[in-house]
Amino acid sequence: MRPWQLILLTLITGVSAVSSGWRPLYLIFYVLLLSLVISYVVANWSSNGLAFARTNPGRRVQKGAMLEERLRLENRSSFPKLWVQVTDSSTLPGHHAGYVASIGGRQRIDWRVKTVCRRRGRFFLGPVVATTGDPLGLFTRVIPLSNQREVIVLPRALPLTHFALFPGVMPGRGRGSQRSLQTTTNAVTVREYLPGDAISRIHWPTSARQSKLMVKEFDLDPTIDVWIILDLDDMVQFGEGDESTVEYAVTVAATLAQFCLRADLSVGLMMNDAHHTVLPFDRGVRQLDRMLETLAVAEASETQPLSDLLIAQEVRFMRNNFSIVITSSPDQEWAAGLRQLERRGVKSSVVLIDGASFGASVTEGSPAPSMESAERFLISNAMPYLVIHQGDSIAAALEVGAVTSRK
């Protein structure tokens, strides 16, 4: 019953009692009036003295990881709360931190909430409110307990031992490396001592075996700058949810970003999303954090195709840059754009996400076209690439699934 309904009933009963003089109506009137007064007083007392606390689970969590919160509701007054409903308006999927209980005076209730983070993105925990009132439920009070708190669910970054498309293109590593006149971290061979060589470069164990002075030779440290180019054109995306080309592509980008940055390379990120995101080159953990947070909220949108992105950002590509393109587009125009960059000294490799294996297009509902034409173009232009299909192990495909095209 609503409060106004009980008030109206009380007034009608009172008027009827006065006009008729019937004693039972007076008794009913007094009971109703007393119920109204007591309920109002109890509802006001119940809204006082409530305190709420939640542990800080951290601002960032990995997709697939467990988010655990410890929550506490405390009654700091001596008056017991006959019922309290805690409501958490979190946007994190599957996160339910609500609670309903009665709580005595000077008591507290602790509970724990565990949520598996199954979707990447930016979400909010809270706000949290408590609803309490009188035993009859006539008067309720809503009390704000906690503000919103942001949490970012990062995409999975899979561990890699190596990337199959890197060999032979990294300065200072493998074929094509150059000898350094300075001491670096990459000692690759020894040679006979020549006048002018520094004493610190002498390799004493080899010198002892050869009975003559031998010095170490060093390669140049890696100086390659890697662009990770993620195609988020909505027109070439297929599948839904975790089993979609977007999710596979984001996981590939996060995995390669982690691999390159842990190899002490300088890495940048380009995306043709709604914001035309570009993260300039940088190294280290801070850059990895930035890239993962950017990829966490990356979504496909109706934007420029990949070929237009390569043209628009052409000035950012320098000689000896290395680009890794991640796309599900069967178009050949972007491949032609990579060929133009290669003529300027920009090496490229391609990770193709086979849209045909993911079913129909998200936007049009039509089947995905074959990637054969794009593959033929890459093969004819000797561009290394690999293909990832739905259900493939992404880490295994990146490590050993390369299709290195050759003339």
- Overall average pLDDT of the 248-254 stretch: 97
3-state SS, residue 144: strand
237 and 251 in one domain?
A: yes
Mean pLDDT of the chain: 87
Q: Do 190 and 292 fall within a single domain?
A: no
In a domain, 169, yes or no: no
**Same-domain status, 211 and 230:** no
Give the model's pLDDT for residue 187.
Answer: 65
- The pLDDT score that the predictor gives to residue 175 is 39
196 class by beta-carbon count within 10 Å (0-12 exposed, 13-18 middle, 19+ buried): exposed
Let me know whether 188 and 296 are in one domain.
no
118 and 99: one domain? yes
Look at residue 10 in the predicted model and tell me its pLDDT.
Answer: 86
Phi, psi at residue 331, to the nearest 5°?
A: -65, 150
What's the helix, strand, coil split of the chain in %, to 5? 30, 30, 40
pLDDT of residue 174: 39
Give tens-digit pLDDT for 48-107: 899 999 887 788 999 999 999 999 999 999 989 989 999 999 999 999 999 999 999 999
Both 64 and 91 in a single domain? yes
What does the H/E/C string look like for 203-249?
Answer: CHHHHHHHCCCEEEEEECCCCCEEEEEECCEHHHCEEECCEEHHHHH
Specify the number of domains making up the chain: 4
Supply the range of the domain harboring residue 21.
3-46
pLDDT at 329: 93
In the chain, % of residues over pLDDT 90: 53
252 and 355 in one domain?
Answer: yes
**Whether residues 243 and 270 fall in one domain:** yes
Domain containing 377 — which CATH number?
Answer: 3.40.50.410
Q: Are residues 94 and 11 in the same domain?
A: no
CA 178 to chain centre: 39
Same domain for 56 and 35: no
Domain match, 300 and 393 both: yes
Residues 9 and 64 in one domain: no
In the predicted structure, residue 365 carries a pLDDT above the cut 70: no
